[in-house]
Amino acid sequence: MKRTHNPNKSKVHRSYTVEEVALRFGVHKRTVRNWIKKGLSVCDDKRPLLILGSDLRQFLKQQRQEYKRTCKPCELYCFKCREPRLPDQNTLEFIEETSTKGRVIAACSVCNSRLNKYFSLKNITSIQRDLAVILPLQHKHIG
């Protein structure tokens, strides 16, 4: 699952190479390159790439907010819209994954891409109520 990192670990008056960021935050270098793709600014195109501590901090703060911008109970997070979205009621499905865990899948009511939400089966009643649906829990058939 997605993890968030403490933005304050990034010192504002420093700059870091990709390797240093990876080391500092205990992530893979590939993760840092992903951050760059997702909008983390680098100083210039020269190698090694340098990332300003202040930029890094700002970026991680944003990431964290995005992650924290948790959905209302009736919403699922859409990775395409990058917003919590209401699911299309006609597409809602509850799937029992294990004896304790389930998953809601539905289509995003805005962009139609697939939404996913994991939940603990003991919360199924409130989840179903929140999503305003009364659907029988469907068992996942394997094979």
Dihedral, 70, 120, 116, 39 alpha carbons, nearest 10? 40
Which residue shows structure tokens 């305003």? Answer: 132
Q: Report in angstroms the alpha-carbon separations of 31 from 27, 38, 72, 73, 113.
A: 6, 10, 29, 30, 25
- Shorter beta-carbon distance to Zn ion: residue 72 or 139: 72
Query: Which of 11-19, 35-43, 64-72, 106-114 is the region at the interface with Zn ion (rule: CB under 5 A)?
Result: 106-114
Q: What are the helix and strand counts (H, E) for the chain?
A: 4, 8
Contact 92, 104 (CB under 8 A): yes
Question: In the set 22, 36, 50, 81, which binds Zn ion (CB under 5 A)?
Answer: 81
Query: Which of 16-24, 28-36, 73-81, 88-96 is the region at the interface with Zn ion (rule: CB under 5 A)?
Result: 73-81
Q: Can residue 80 be called a binding residue for Zn ion (CB under 5 A)?
A: yes
- Shorter beta-carbon distance to Zn ion: residue 82 or 122: 82
Q: Can residue 106 be called a binding residue for Zn ion (CB under 5 A)?
A: no
Among positions 53-72, residues that touch Zn ion (CB under 5 A) are: none
Q: Report in angstroms the alpha-carbon separations of 41 from 16, 32, 91, 115.
A: 12, 11, 39, 29
- Shorter beta-carbon distance to Zn ion: residue 13 or 72: 72
Q: Can residue 108 be called a binding residue for Zn ion (CB under 5 A)?
A: yes
Binding residues vs Zn ion (CB under 5 A): 78, 80-81, 108, 110-111
